[in-house]
Structure 1
Amino acid sequence: MQHYFVPFAQLRQQPTILVDSTGLGAALVLAHWRGAATPESLRDDTSAGSVLRALRAPTVPGFAAAAVSANHFDVDGFVGVWSLLYPEAALRHEALLRLTATLGDFRELDWNNPLADHALKLVCWLNAKEKALFYPPFGAPAVRRREDEASADKFAWFLPAFGEILENPEVGRGAWEPEFVRVHEASAVMQSSATYLTRYPEIGLLVVHTPEPLPYYALFGPTAGFDMVLSCYGGQRYEFEYKYTTWIDLESRPTLPRLPLDNLATRLNALETSARRWTFDPVTDTGPLLRLAGKGLTKAQRYADPDQRPIYTSSMPPEVMEHEIVTFFQQHYAAITPRRYWSWTEIREVGAKAMAS
């Protein structure tokens, strides 16, 4: 079966496999989105992982559909779509593609993995070319187009070009090298004595103490197995973030549901004596941030690396900030058992109880 890509708007014009997306009328859904209709046997942490499982189970209902689509462009979704169009190469590079999709979506990278540098080069190449030729992630409104429409142009360019870079990253060195070097330099800081980590596995929190804001691929590198990160930078600058791992249906391990950050922000604002206020994103955001407010950030700015946005000085010392974050989640998660496949309705119900307590 030779698959081919179609723009999302054409989903219902022929039987279509939908990757890293949801939509009515798909013959087969291969997505890790919460509540997506991915067959149970094909569920995976990443949507690309579900595609790779499907390539090894081609008799699954709906796989015979020739058309493939997605409603947005990102690393995970692209790797999944590309794998359906080039299945032999995808299965030959399965471990690398899985690592690439995980890095793209969760920003996690095990530097001890022999494929780590190769995966990082691929992601950096995709990032650089996407920004140079099109628009950055969540930047479609700036070009006055819907993402499901505008992203089709990205797929049309990247799908035939990616295979060469996958086989020989040196061909794309000019594009991937600047970010690759930047991430390596930041990872050296993360692994140095200037940085230390404090783990709270019972609540899924990792606290990172490091001098300056860093790129996500370095900052989140050691966060596998954790779903919340409190970044504590020099000068009493902080950001708390729910990772993307709790926006999707994670297959590999149970998770705790996201809790609204209203009460936590209220507590922090009661302690904050600077002129700034603690603000937060709703739990339905892909990566909610809790941070001291300045000029409002766009979604594209919040998705960008922490070292590319201002992070303001708090009046609270780091030990107070860490204590408040840890105490809040220890109290509210005490009676909640981690599990897989929370629905958004269940998450809202749990959150409402936490807000009332």
Structure 2
Amino acid sequence: MPQLTFLPFAQARRQAAATVVVDSILPRATLTLAHWRQAPTPELYRDDTSAGSALRALLQQPPELQGAQFVTANHFDVDGFVGVWALLNPGLAKQHETLLRMVATLGDFRELDWQHPLADTALKLVCWLNAKEKELFYPPFGAPELRRREDEASAEKFAWFLPAFAEVMQNPNLGRGAWVPEYERVRQATEVMQSSATQLHRYPELGLVVVHTPEPLPYYALFGPTAGYDMVLSCYNEQRYELEYKYTTWVDLESRPTLPRLPLQALAERLNELETTRRLWTCDAVTDTGPQMRLSGRGLSKVQRYADPDQRPIYASSIPAAELETEVVRFFKTQYVGVEPRRYWSWDETRATGVAAQP
């Protein structure tokens, strides 16, 4: 395999025929390795994460990879970074494939199997990536606030992280000063999730998990036990709630079939009929990376919605938790009648299912 060079996305547009694109779409790229919905990733390399696709390609060495000179991505996140780094460091990537897959899954889907012996290391690496990104640059989805384009601004992140990652991956203690705060917060929250203070109600036919836990928690703890499910209804003390479609239904998930996302407006309207506070239930569009339904206050920015639930306001409802859970479960059971889980929903098919499901 030839030694690839990272090329910022703006420059890669002019070198597409010689460029592998990761976790993004670049017209006329020699090879696409992305889990984005309807991305032209070859079937042999499809994976739940884009990093997983890159690792599959490394193992199989397709002709397109042999003839490539560059690798690029149009944004910086954990999954895309791991995929780019793996293609630039194939020997180390193959050696640490399992760990890298866990890092990418935690970064994108916020899921972590605490029984796995590498789970603790994966969390440390993701926390290090998160901390250094915020310290040195800007938070995820923060480029527009700096009046910059993500595909241009993110090149600076790649330039810093690509040469720094290998050393920390092999010895996470070298980055301890950065990863400790978030790591300890997640570990403490994970203890709450695993304690008797938390109850999980699973509805596998809907892909829904209802989490009853005292206080809002970091996603890496909250979503850890929701692997295999695509919606989470979080119910906190004082009747505070959030319903969220996970990122698993924004991408083309390879490992299992899923149900398509449904528009949540009708459910929000039903809850507004029951709500007696002055706040209104609002929801995001199905094409958002992680659509939420929640009681409105001051509108949340994309940065705030991507941040952990314990870092944003969540307002008290007049609806008791048991009643809310009943309404949410009833809505999805009704709306998903006749809809079967499968792989590779297009956005047109998703929208059509939502239209057909409306009363």
Distance 1:232 1:22 in 2: 37
Q: What's the % identity of the aligned pairs? A: 69
Q: 2:107: which partner in 1?
A: 104
Distance 1:143 1:16 in 2: 28
> Counterparts in 2 of 1:33-52, with a 5 A limit?
33-52=36-55
Compute the displacement of 1:235 (Å).
0.3
Distance 2:54 2:67 in 1: 13
* SS of the residue 1:176 aligns to: helix
Please, which of 116, 137, 140 is the counterpart of residue 140 of structure 2? 137
Q: 1:352: which partner in 2?
A: 355
Correspondence 1:18 to 2:21? yes
Cα distance change of structure 1 residues 63 and 287 upon mapping to structure 2, 3 Å threshold = farther
Correspondence 1:190 to 2:157? no
Cα distance change of structure 1 residues 266 and 63 upon mapping to structure 2, 3 Å threshold = farther
1:254-294 CA-partner distances (Å, limit 9, x unpaired)? 00000001101110101101100000000000000000000
Correspondence 1:165 to 2:174? no
Compute the displacement of 1:232 (Å).
0.2
Q: 2:7: which partner in 1?
A: 6
Distance 1:263 1:63 in 2: 51
Q: 1:280: which partner in 2?
A: 283
Compute the displacement of 1:60 (Å).
4.0
Compute the displacement of 1:25 (Å).
2.1
* SS of the residue 2:60 aligns to: coil
Q: Which amino acid aligns with 1:94?
A: E
Distance 1:4 1:57 in 2: 20
* SS of the residue 2:99 aligns to: helix
1:291-311 CA-partner distances (Å, limit 9, x unpaired)? 000000000000000000000
Q: 1:117: which partner in 2?
A: 120
TM-score, with structure 1 as normaliser: 0.99
Compute the displacement of 1:143 (Å).
1.3
Q: 1:220: which partner in 2?
A: 223
1:300-351 CA-partner distances (Å, limit 9, x unpaired)? 0000000000000000000010001100001111210000000001001101
Distance 2:56 2:30 in 1: 17
Is residue 17–residue 63 contact of structure 1 (8 Å, CA) maintained in 2? no
Q: 1:175: which partner in 2?
A: 178
Compute the displacement of 1:62 (Å).
4.6
Which stretches of structure 1, 4 residues or longer, exceed 2 Å deviation after superposition? 59-64
> Counterparts in 2 of 1:88-103, with a 5 A limit?
88-103=91-106
Distance 1:297 1:13 in 2: 37
Distance 2:356 2:63 in 1: 40
Please, which of 236, 247, 252 is the counterpart of residue 255 of structure 2? 252
Cα distance change of structure 1 residues 252 and 63 upon mapping to structure 2, 3 Å threshold = farther
Is residue 264–residue 328 contact of structure 1 (8 Å, CA) maintained in 2? yes
Q: 1:146: which partner in 2?
A: 149
Distance 1:93 1:304 in 2: 28
Distance 2:317 2:247 in 1: 26
Q: Which amino acid aligns with 2:337?
A: A
Compute the displacement of 1:57 (Å).
1.1
Compute the displacement of 1:63 (Å).
4.5
* SS of the residue 2:282 aligns to: strand
TM-score, with structure 2 as normaliser: 0.98
* SS of the residue 1:206 aligns to: strand
Query: Structure 1 regions of 5+ residues with no counterpart?
Result: none
Correspondence 1:262 to 2:236? no
Query: Structure 2 regions of 5+ residues with no counterpart?
Result: none
Is residue 100–residue 123 contact of structure 1 (8 Å, CA) maintained in 2? yes
1:232-265 CA-partner distances (Å, limit 9, x unpaired)? 0000000000000000000000000000011011
Distance 1:303 1:222 in 2: 19
Taking only aligned residues, the RMSD between alpha carbons, in angstroms, comes to 0.7
Distance 1:63 1:352 in 2: 45
Distance 1:12 1:70 in 2: 11
Q: 2:62: which partner in 1?
A: 59
The count of residues paired between Structure 1 and Structure 2 equals 356
Correspondence 1:340 to 2:343? yes
Is residue 27–residue 63 contact of structure 1 (8 Å, CA) maintained in 2? no
Compute the displacement of 1:49 (Å).
0.1
Q: 1:329: which partner in 2?
A: 332
* SS of the residue 1:108 aligns to: coil
Distance 2:109 2:51 in 1: 13
* SS of the residue 2:342 aligns to: coil
* SS of the residue 2:40 aligns to: coil
Compute the displacement of 1:12 (Å).
3.1
Is residue 54–residue 60 contact of structure 1 (8 Å, CA) maintained in 2? no
